[in-house]
């Protein structure tokens, strides 16, 4: 037994057994010590990809904002949304990164600016169409001599017809309301004489001072004094449906 212990001691001193180093190598392989750096590397790649995509979107958005600024001017403080508004619009606002928040804010500003451009363009288109209708009405009136009282008052009538409460209304109604305001009585619409078979000549349409409910409404909104005068002094001018 003593000899065996001596041989063991001698073997230990000489360092022949290499059990411990072998176990360390196995643990190193099994533990995946070499694979550990792969985890952070992978997430870094994902982060770079996400950051790159965000940067690209931001560059595109910046270009759009610059184009909008050239048309609408610089972004004013009134156009910048409040943080609470952004939180209400973007439910994941709290977990967004700072670049993502900036991107969301710029995107909202751009959307609103483009919407404003569309609204302005639509309004300009409607205004242009309405002015064309007024011009055609005046031109047709001169040819047919429908409203001779409008001669020399075209500019004033255009301003009258372009009031926000008048746009889209019947131009005949507007013309009569305008001339009544100017002259104090309802002008009669002159019609072009038409030869009827066997009539021997043109028939004149009887003139009438009866006003329509629409004419009275326009007059009441724009000239309450004249409207009261008609109600009190000229009840026969009031249409029967109102009486």
User: DSSP for 161-205?
Assistant: HTSTTTTTS-HHHHHHHHHHHHHSSPPPPP----BPTTTSSB-PP
Mean pLDDT value across the chain: 71
Residue range 126-149: average pLDDT?
87
* CB 134, CB 142: distance < 8 Å: no
Cα–Cα dist 176/149, whole Å: 10
Query: Which phi and psi angles does 59 have, rounded to 5°?
Result: -65, -40
Q: Where are the chain's structural domains?
A: 80-131, 145-192+208-237
pLDDT score recorded for residue 54:
63
Which tokens belong to 101?
A: 């928040």
pTM surpassing 0.75? Answer: no
Kindly tell me if the per-residue pLDDT of 41 is higher than 60.
Answer: no
Higher pLDDT, 162 or 219: 162
For 203-222, the pLDDT digits (tens) are 444 444 567 777 777 777 77
pLDDT at position 73 is 75
């Amino acid at each position: 037994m003593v000899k065996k212990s001596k041989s063991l001691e001698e073997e230990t001193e000489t360092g022949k057994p290499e059990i411990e180093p072998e176990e360390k190598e196995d643990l190193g392989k099994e533990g995946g010590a070499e694979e550990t750096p792969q985890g952070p590397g992978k997430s870094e790649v994902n982060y770079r990809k996400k950051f790159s995509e965000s940067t690209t979107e931001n560059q595109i958005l910046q270009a759009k904002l610059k184009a909008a600024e050239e048309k609408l001017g610089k972004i004013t403080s009134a156009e910048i949304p409040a943080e609470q508004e952004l939180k209400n619009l973007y439910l994941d606002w709290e977990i967004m990164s700072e670049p993502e928040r900036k991107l969301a804010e710029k995107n909202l500003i751009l959307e609103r600016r483009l919407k404003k451009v569309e609204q302005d363009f639509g309004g300009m288109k409607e205004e242009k169409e309405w002015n064309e209708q007024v011009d055609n009405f005046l031109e047709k009136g001169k040819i047919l001599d429908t409203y001779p009282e409008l001669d020399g008052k075209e500019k004033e009538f255009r301003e009258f017809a372009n009031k926000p409460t008048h746009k889209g209304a019947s131009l005949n109604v507007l013309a009569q309301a305008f001339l009544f305001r100017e002259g104090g009585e309802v002008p009669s619409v002159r019609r072009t004489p038409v030869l009827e078979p066997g009539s021997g000549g043109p028939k004149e349409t009887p003139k009438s001072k009866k006003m329509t409910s629409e004419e009275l409404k326009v007059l009441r909104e724009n000239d309450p004094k004249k409207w009261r005068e008609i109600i009190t002094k000229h009840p026969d001018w009031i249409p029967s449906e109102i009486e």
